[in-house]
A = this chain, B = another copy of it.
Amino acid sequence: MVSRKKIIREILEKYRVIWSLRLAGSLMGWDQETYMPPKGVTERSIAGSNLAVLRHQLILKPDFVELVEKASRKRSLNDVERGIVRVLKRAIDQARKIPPEHIAEFSKTTTLALEYWKKAKAEDNYDIFKPYLAKIVELSRKTAEYLGYKKHPLDALLDLYEEGLTTDDVDSMFSRLEPGLKRVYDKIMAEHPVPEKHPLEQTKYNVESMKKLNRKALDVLGYPWDRARLDVSAHPFTIGIGINDVRITTRYEGFDFKRSLLGTIHEFGHALYELGVDQRFIATPIAGGVSLGVHESQSRFWENQIGRSKPFVTAFYPHMKRYLVFLRNYTPEDVYLYFNTVRPSLIRTEADEVTYNFHIMLRYKLEKMLIEGSLSVDELPEVWNQEMERLLGVRPRNYSEGVLQDIHWSMGSIGYFPTYSIGTLLSAQIMRRIKQDIPNVEEDISRLRFRRIQRWLRENIHRYGSMYPPKELVRKALGTDLDPEVYVSYLEEKYLSR
């Protein structure tokens, strides 16, 4: 009988080629959003889809599959080995079920769709994007059929982003969240009528100064520049090209500086997760964050729990004032209020901590309907607008403020949005747990010292990479499951006692 160790070693050796293709694919994706000349897109999409097919073939190579199956039958696997086998079995299972032609078609479609979404958004013309969205919905439904599901076709897609997540989970999460959220939101609206716009939202900044401020923020947070980058892209994102090559992007719209700053801090949270994975996991299947929900818990933690907190805003205020001279006319308290203005907004990425989850509920509801076929892409913009009115009482005046605002569907990511809520809710639970585990942690934040917090995150979450499935990791780290009530309490405490 071949030893457990030998099998795992062989698996990892063969996997290294697949990992190499993933690394190349990640770099190609990063480059496409940052530096690729626009006309490079055709060749890029040919290469992207060919390499995706190649990866697919390598994952399904009989000798590889057999090794993974052999390993999965071993009883004595340790946690790392079990993680490796679990992740690979999932990948093999998915690859087996989805035909390569479907993957190639999907990849080619989304590469084009992304370009046409950009064009459609720039010209505020939904019709430019509509046929590509229709195609993506159709292909995604096919994906769900290929993957199989017990109850709802969206279940199959949810699982792609958040292992084990079902529409039942999401429905339950939102049904537990909505009443509390609505209660808090209504109270805030009643207690604190907010101005239509905070003056700082309209204040223009100098882009070069803002770039320096973002770099300063990353310095203060301890971003390791020798292992990481910050660049500019239309839609901010984080990508782990390797454990020691993680890249975030931000954008500079020229006004409303919190969007660029908090966006950068948000991506920093994602990056820190990828950077914190155990170095021994390099080139293995578990060398990266386990799921989008857990990932978002990290970005939201730094953006909301740290970045929008009073101790952070107060302590970081002098740096902000140094780079953005107009802040001389504002106190730290003003900036704190500006960072935490609650009001109904049209754009998800500009939404505050209270209204944000309403935006996700809307998207989840619509993509569920799109996938089950109870809503067409023709009806979509109007239903979007109706839902906005129902949930937040506001109505988009154009497509860019409505259905065209997000990049996700154009990239073929249907079933992705709920992970934003999962992460947002988890981030409050993580902070609650950190406050229990680290004495006087607020003092750390007031002194802009993040070492103890980062060590907690690394020890309890980051270092494991994808070793444990998300629900298990959450239970391990927090001693409890996802709990929407904690988030509602957090909002009540922050917004109703001030």
Contact = CB atoms under 8 A, between A and B. Distances in A.
Given A17-B50, A35-B229, A245 B44 contact: yes
Given A19-B47, A46-B282, A50-B17, A245 B36 contact: yes
Contact of A47 (B24, B38, B39, B50): B24
A226 B43 contact: no
Contact of A23 (B47, B224, B227, B242): B47
Interface string A367-386: 00000000000000000000
A413 interface: no
Task: Pick the most buried of A54, A225, A245: most chain B CB atoms within 10 A of its CB.
Answer: A245
A44 B27 CA distance: 10
What is the copy number of this chain in the assembly?
2
Interface string A222-265: 00111111010000000001111100000000000000000000
A479 interface: no
B51 A21 contact: yes
A40 B282 contact: no
A38 B242 contact: no
B50 A20 contact: yes
Contacts of A24: 21, 24-25, 27-28, 47, 51
Contacts of A51: 17, 20-21, 24
A245 B231 CA distance: 20
Contacts of A229: 35, 37
A38 B226 CA distance: 5
A42 interface: yes
Interface size range on A against B = 35 or more
A242 B40 contact: yes
A20 to B, nearest CB: 4
Nearest to A57: B17
A229 to B, nearest CB: 6
Contacts of A227: 37, 39-40
Contacts of A481: none
Contact of A20 (B23, B47, B226, B241): B47
Interface string A39-67: 11011101110110110000000000000
A224 B38 CA distance: 11
Given A17-B50, A23-B47, A50-B17, A40 B244 contact: yes
A322 interface: no
Can you list the 10 inter-chain pairs with the closest CB atoms, starting with the nearest? A40-B245, A43-B242, A24-B24, A20-B50, A20-B47, A39-B244, A23-B47, A39-B227, A39-B226, A20-B51
A54 to B, nearest CB: 6
Nearest to A42: B244
Task: Pick the most buried of A27, A28, A241, A283: most chain B CB atoms within 10 A of its CB.
Answer: A27
A38 B245 CA distance: 8
A225 B20 CA distance: 30
A31 interface: yes
